[in-house]
Amino acid sequence: MLDWITEPVRALLAGWRRERLMQRDIAELKHLDDRMLADLGIARGQIEDYVRGRLGHDAIALQQAAPRRPVGLAVRRCNGAA
What is the domain partition of the chain in residue ranges? 3-78
**Burial status of residue 82 (CB atoms within 10 A of its CB: 0-12, 13-18, 19 or more):** exposed
- Of residues 29 and 61, the one with the higher pLDDT is 29
Arithmetic mean of pLDDT, 33-41: 92
Instruction: Note the pTM of the prediction, 2 decimals.
Output: 0.61
DSSP symbol at 66? S
29 contacts: CB under 8 Å, gap ≥ 6 = 37, 40, 42, 47, 50, 51
- The amino acid that residue 30 corresponds to is K
Is the pLDDT at 82 greater than 50? The verdict is no
pLDDT score at 38: 92
Selected residue with higher pLDDT from 41 and 73:
41
Cβ neighbors of 60 (< 8 A, separation 6 or more) are 41, 42, 50
